[in-house]
C-alpha cells in the first residue's frame, strides 16, 4: 500500500508539493517510485528557472524508461537537491524526505486548491 | 525541455509508458496500456504463474508478459550471481522434418546445418535474397532429418511465410514437412552460475534422446538432450541469451507449467528467482547479443551486425549469399558497435543520435539498444556507425534530449565475467 502523507498536495501526474509560507518543495510520490523501481538518473531544472504549473521540468530515468516530471505549481526554482542527483536511489528509498527534487518560490498560491489532497490522490492510485 | 523518450525492449514500433502519460495520449490508450487485455494480448501457459508471483504484466509483441517481478536491477543481478528463471513460451517454434530437410534449411539459413549432430544446436539467421535479416534464431537437429527452430516471438508470421514460400519451390519437396508448432510448445530459460548445482535434481538421470549424457549438467554448450518431466518429453539445451551458463527448456505447452514449478522449487534453495523481460534485455545488452527489431531488421545484414561467424559462405548457395560474400570482402556502409558512456549522464536509449567527437562533430549514426548497465553502473549500448568510427577506443557522443554526452566505442562483449 503506497504511502500518501497527509501534509502534502498532489498532482495527478504523481508529483507532491510540501508548502511552507511561499516556498514549495517538490518530489515524486511513493506510488510513482514503486512503479518506476530502480531510478538510475535524475535531471533537475536549473535554479532561477521560472516554471508554470504543469510544465515539464525534470526527467527521471529508471533502468528501462525515461519519464517526464511536471511542476505542480508555478514559480521560480530556488534550490535543487544535489544528493538526489548523485544518488538517484534516494527517490526509491525516501521519496518524501531525502529524495526531494527542487524547491520553488510560489508565484500563485491559489493554484494549490487545484491540486489533489491526500485522500483524492489515494483514490486515484487505488482506483486506477 | 525536449520531451523525454521512453522505451522498452520490443520491436521499434512499440512503446511502453510507465508514467506519467504524455498529455497527448488519449484515455483509451492510457487505459489499454494499463489493462493489456483490452488490446487482445496473447498469454502463455505460464500466465497464472506470473500473476501468482506478482509479475508486472506489460504488452510485448502482442503478448501479455512479465517485465519484472521485484525489480529489473534485482533480477538482473540475481542472474549474474545465482540464477534466474524466464518464461520464453511466447517465442515461436517451427518443426522441419523429412526428406530434404537439411538441404532446405541450408538454403534458407546462413549457418551450416550439416555441422549439427542429433542433439546439437546452432545460432543462425534467415536472410532474404538481398542479404537482409528476416530473423535470427536457434536451429536444433533433433534426429537425422528432424529439426526444430526457436524463433523470435515478434517474427513468427514472417518466418513461417518465408519458409512456406520457399518450400513451395523447393525441389522434391513432397517429403518435406514444415510445421508451425508455436502454439503447442512452451519454453523457459534458466540462467546463472548456480544452475549447474540444481539442474540434475530437476531432471535426474541420463538423457533419453538427443546427446547421450549421464546427467543434464554434462551437456556441453549448444548440446541438447531429452528428459522426462512427469511423463512429458522435455528438451534441455545448454544455451541462453544472458551470457551466463544455463539451459533453455522446451516442452509441450501442456507440460510447461509443471516444468516451471519444478525448476522454481528445485532452484529456490540455490538462489533461483523468477526474472522478467526487463532483465532479459539488460542481460543480453551487456553481452551484446542482438535483438531483432534493434540490431537486426529487414534493412540490415548479418555482416553489418558483426555476425560473419554465423554466415557459412563456403557451404554452397543460400539466400543472400552473393550480397554477404561481397560485404565480407569489400566492407559495409554501416557497422554495429558497442559503446559505453564515459561521463556521468542519463543512459543511452534506442534511436538516440550518435555523433562523432572532436573539432567538427557530425551526426554519424543511431543507437539501437541502450540502458543503464546494472552490472557495470554506467550507460551502455549498441549502435550503427560508418566503419571508420567502429574501432574500439573511438570517442563518440550520444545526443540525449538535445545535449551531447561523451561516450566511447568498446570491444564486445561490454560485460565480461572476471576469470
Split at pLDDT 50, 70, 90, the class of B169 is confident
Split at pLDDT 50, 70, 90, the class of B1 is very low
Given this model, what pLDDT does residue B28 score? 57
User: B-contacting residues of A 92-121, CB under 8 Å?
Assistant: none
How far away is chain B from the Cα of A64, in angstroms, using its nearest Cα? 6
Cell of B362: 557530425
Tens digits of residue pLDDT in B127-149: 999 999 999 999 999 999 999 99
In this complex, the residue of B3, B6, B76 whose CB is nearest that of residue A65 is B6
Contacts of B323 (CB under 8 A, 6+ apart): B129, B130, B131, B301
- Tell whether A119 is covered by a domain: no
The full set of domains in chain B, from first to last, is: 1-331 (3.30.1360.120), 333-419 (2.40.30.110)
Angle between helices B72-81 and B277-286 (to 10 degrees): 60
CA distance B416 to B316: 35
Residues of chain A short of pLDDT 50, as ranges, are none
CA distance B75 to B191: 11
Given this model, what pLDDT does residue B11 score? 31
The answer to whether residue B40 scores a pLDDT higher than 90 is no
Split at pLDDT 50, 70, 90, the class of B38 is low
The verdict on a CB contact (< 8 Å) between B401 and A59 is yes
Residue for grid cell 513461417: B160
How far away is chain A from the Cα of B401, in angstroms, using its nearest Cα? 10
Residue for grid cell 549438467: B217
Tens digits of residue pLDDT in B380-410: 999 999 999 999 999 999 999 999 999 999 9
Q: How buried is B23 (Cβ within 10 angstroms: 0-12 exposed, 13-18 middle, 19+ buried)? A: exposed
Given this model, what pLDDT does residue B61 score? 82
Contact B126, B70 (CB under 8 A): no
B278 close to A (CB below 8 A): yes
The verdict on a CB contact (< 8 Å) between B20 and A67 is yes
- Tell whether A117 is covered by a domain: no
The answer to whether residue B171 scores a pLDDT higher than 90 is no
The answer to whether residue B207 scores a pLDDT higher than 90 is yes
How far away is chain B from the Cα of A22, in angstroms, using its nearest Cα? 25
Cell of B38: 483490452
Given this model, what pLDDT does residue A66 score? 87
Tens digits of residue pLDDT in B346-370: 999 999 999 999 889 999 999 999 9
Listed range (B1-5, B102-106, B266-270) with the worst mean pLDDT: B1-5
Q: What is the DSSP string of A49-115?
A: -EE-TT-EEEEEEESS-EEEEE-SS-EEEEEE-HHHHH-TTHHHH-TTTTT--EEEEES-GGGGGGS
Which residues of chain A make contact with B16, given a CB cutoff of 8 A?
Answer: 65
Strand ranges across the sheet with B120-127: B120-127, B133-143, B146-151, B92-97, B177-180
The verdict on a CB contact (< 8 Å) between A13 and B19 is yes
Given this model, what pLDDT does residue B26 score? 60
The answer to whether residue B339 scores a pLDDT higher than 70 is yes
Split at pLDDT 50, 70, 90, the class of B12 is very low
Tens digits of residue pLDDT in B59-100: 888 899 999 999 999 999 999 999 999 999 999 999 999 999
A67 close to B (CB below 8 A): yes
Q: Which residue of B has its CA nearest to A88?
A: B346
- Tell whether A73 is covered by a domain: yes
- Tell whether A128 is covered by a domain: no
- Tell whether A120 is covered by a domain: no
Of the candidates B193, B352, B187, B196, the one whose C-alpha atom is nearest the C-alpha of residue B260 is: B187
Which residues of chain B make contact with A65, given a CB cutoff of 8 A?
Answer: 6-8, 16-18
The answer to whether residue B155 scores a pLDDT higher than 60 is yes
- Tell whether A116 is covered by a domain: no
A82 close to B (CB below 8 A): no
Split at pLDDT 50, 70, 90, the class of B3 is very low
- Tell whether A30 is covered by a domain: yes
Tens digits of residue pLDDT in B240-291: 999 999 999 999 999 999 999 999 999 999 999 999 999 999 999 999 999 9
Given this model, what pLDDT does residue B16 score? 43
Measure Cα distances from B135 to B162, B224, B292, B331 in Å.
10, 22, 7, 22
- Tell whether A123 is covered by a domain: no
Q: How buried is B340 (Cβ within 10 angstroms: 0-12 exposed, 13-18 middle, 19+ buried)? A: middle
Tens digits of residue pLDDT in B43-52: 999 999 999 9
Given this model, what pLDDT does residue A127 score? 76
Q: Tell me how far apart the terminal alpha carbons of chain A are, to the nearest angstrom.
A: 14
A28 close to B (CB below 8 A): no
Vertex B15, ends B13 and B17: CA angle to 5°?
Answer: 170
For residues B171 and A72, which has the higher predicted lDDT (pLDDT)? A72
The whole-model pTM stands at: 0.90
The verdict on a CB contact (< 8 Å) between A61 and B8 is no
B346 close to A (CB below 8 A): yes
The verdict on a CB contact (< 8 Å) between A40 and B16 is no
CA distance B208 to B232: 12
A89 close to B (CB below 8 A): no
CATH number at residue A46: 2.40.50.100
The answer to whether residue B8 scores a pLDDT higher than 50 is no
How far away is chain B from the Cα of A97, in angstroms, using its nearest Cα? 21
A64 close to B (CB below 8 A): yes
Residue for grid cell 535426474: B204
A vs B: CB pairs below 8 A: 83
Given this model, what pLDDT does residue B37 score? 53
The verdict on a CB contact (< 8 Å) between A37 and B68 is yes
User: Which residue segment(s) compose the domain that A27 sits in?
Assistant: 10-108
CA distance B320 to B134: 11
In this complex, the residue of B20, B34, B372 whose CB is nearest that of residue A63 is B372
The verdict on a CB contact (< 8 Å) between A13 and B5 is no
Q: Which residue of B has its CA nearest to A33?
A: B19
The verdict on a CB contact (< 8 Å) between B345 and A59 is no
Q: Which residue of A has its CA nearest to B15?
A: A65
Interface test with B, best of A39, A42, A66, A82 (most B CBs within 10 A): A66
The verdict on a CB contact (< 8 Å) between A64 and B345 is no
Own/partner long-range contacts of B308-316 (Cβ < 8 Å, ≥24 apart) = B310/B110, B310/B111, B310/B122, B310/B123, B310/B124, B310/B125, B311/B110, B311/B111, B311/B125, B312/B110, B312/B111, B312/B112, B315/B106, B315/B112, B315/B114, B316/B106
B381 close to A (CB below 8 A): no
Given this model, what pLDDT does residue B22 score? 64
Q: What is the number of structural domains in chain A? A: 1
Strand ranges across the sheet with A23-28: A9-10, A15-20, A23-28, A102-106, A75-80, A50-51
DSSP A117: P
Given this model, what pLDDT does residue B17 score? 41
The verdict on a CB contact (< 8 Å) between B401 and A43 is yes
CA distance B49 to B338: 36
Amino acid at each position: 500500500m503506497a504511502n500518501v502523507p497527509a501534509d502534502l498536495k498532489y498532482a495527478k501526474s504523481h508529483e507532491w508539493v510540501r508548502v511552507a509560507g511561499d516556498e514549495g518543495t517538490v518530489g515524486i510520490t511513493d506510488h510513482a517510485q514503486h512503479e518506476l523501481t530502480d531510478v538510475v538518473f535524475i535531471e533537475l531544472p536549473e535554479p532561477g528557472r521560472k516554471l508554470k504549473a504543469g510544465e515539464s521540468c525534470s526527467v527521471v530515468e529508471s533502468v528501462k524508461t525515461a519519464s517526464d516530471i511536471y511542476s505542480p505549481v508555478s514559480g521560480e526554482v530556488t534550490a535543487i537537491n544535489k544528493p538526489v542527483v548523485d544518488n538517484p536511489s534516494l527517490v526509491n528509498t525516501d521519496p518524501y524526505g531525502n529524495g526531494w527534487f527542487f524547491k520553488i518560490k510560489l508565484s500563485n498560491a491559489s493554484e494549490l486548491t487545484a491540486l489533489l489532497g491526500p485522500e483524492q490522490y489515494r483514490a486515484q492510485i487505488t482506483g486506477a | 525541455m525536449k520531451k523525454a523518450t521512453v522505451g522498452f525492449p520490443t520491436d521499434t514500433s512499440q512503446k511502453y509508458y510507465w508514467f506519467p502519460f504524455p498529455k497527448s495520449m488519449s484515455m483509451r490508450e492510457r487505459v489499454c496500456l494499463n489493462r493489456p487485455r483490452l488490446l487482445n494480448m496473447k498469454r502463455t501457459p505460464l500466465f497464472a504463474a506470473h500473476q501468482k508471483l506478482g509479475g508486472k504484466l506489460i504488452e510485448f509483441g502482442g503478448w501479455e508478459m512479465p517485465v519484472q517481478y521485484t525489480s529489473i536491477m534485482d533480477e538482473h543481478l540475481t542472474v549474474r550471481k545465482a540464477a534466474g528463471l524466464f518464461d520464453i513460451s511466447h517465442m515461436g517454434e517451427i518443426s522441419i522434418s523429412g526428406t530434404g530437410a537439411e538441404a532446405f534449411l541450408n538454403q534458407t539459413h546462413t549457418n551450416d546445418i550439416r555441422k549439427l549432430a542429433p542433439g546439437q544446436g546452432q545460432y543462425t539467421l534467415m536472410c532474404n535474397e538481398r542479404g537482409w535479416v528476416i530473423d535470427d534464431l536457434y536451429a536444433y537437429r533433433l534426429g537425422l532429418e528432424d529439426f526444430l527452430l526457436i524463433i523470435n516471438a515478434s517474427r513468427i508470421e514472417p518466418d513461417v511465410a518465408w519458409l512456406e514460400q520457399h518450400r513451395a519451390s523447393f525441389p522434391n519437396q513432397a517429403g518435406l514437412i514444415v510445421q508451425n508448432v508455436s502454439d503447442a510448445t512452451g519454453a523457459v530459460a534458466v540462467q546463472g552460475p548456480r544452475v549447474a548445482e540444481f539442474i540434475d535434481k530437476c531432471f535426474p538421470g541420463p538423457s533419453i534422446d538427443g546427446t547421450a549424457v549421464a546427467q543434464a549438467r554434462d551437456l556441453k554448450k549448444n548440446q541438447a538432450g531429452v528428459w522426462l518431466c512427469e511423463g512429458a518429453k522435455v528438451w534441455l539445451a545448454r544455451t541462453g541469451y544472458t551470457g551466463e551458463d544455463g539451459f533453455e527448456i522446451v516442452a509441450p505447452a501442456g507440460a510447461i507449467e509443471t516444468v516451471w514449478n519444478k525448476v522454481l522449487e528445485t532452484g529456490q534453495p540455490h538462489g533461483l528467482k523468477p526474472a522478467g523481460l526487463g532483465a532479459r534485455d539488460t542481460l543480453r545488452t551487456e553481452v551484446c547479443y542482438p535483438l531483432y527489431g534493434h540490431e537486426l531488421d529487414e534493412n540490415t545484414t548479418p555482416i553489418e551486425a558483426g555476425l560473419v561467424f554465423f554466415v557459412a559462405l563456403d557451404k554452397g548457395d543460400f539466400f543472400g549469399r552473393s550480397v554477404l560474400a561481397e560485404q565480407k570482402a569489400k566492407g559495409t556502409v554501416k557497422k554495429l558497435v558497442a559503446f559505453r558512456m564515459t561521463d556521468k549522464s542519463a543512459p543511452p536509449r534506442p534511436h538516440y543520435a550518435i555523433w562523432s567527437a572532436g573539432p567538427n562533430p557530425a551526426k554519424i549514426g543511431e543507437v539501437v539498444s541502450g540502458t543503464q548497465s546494472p552490472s557495470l553502473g554506467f550507460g551502455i549500448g549498441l549502435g550503427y556507425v560508418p566503419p571508420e568510427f567502429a574501432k574500439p577506443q573511438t570517442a563518440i557522443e550520444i545526443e540525449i534530449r538535445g545535449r551531447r554526452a561523451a561516450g566511447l566505442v568498446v570491444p564486445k562483449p561490454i560485460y565480461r565475467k572476471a576469470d
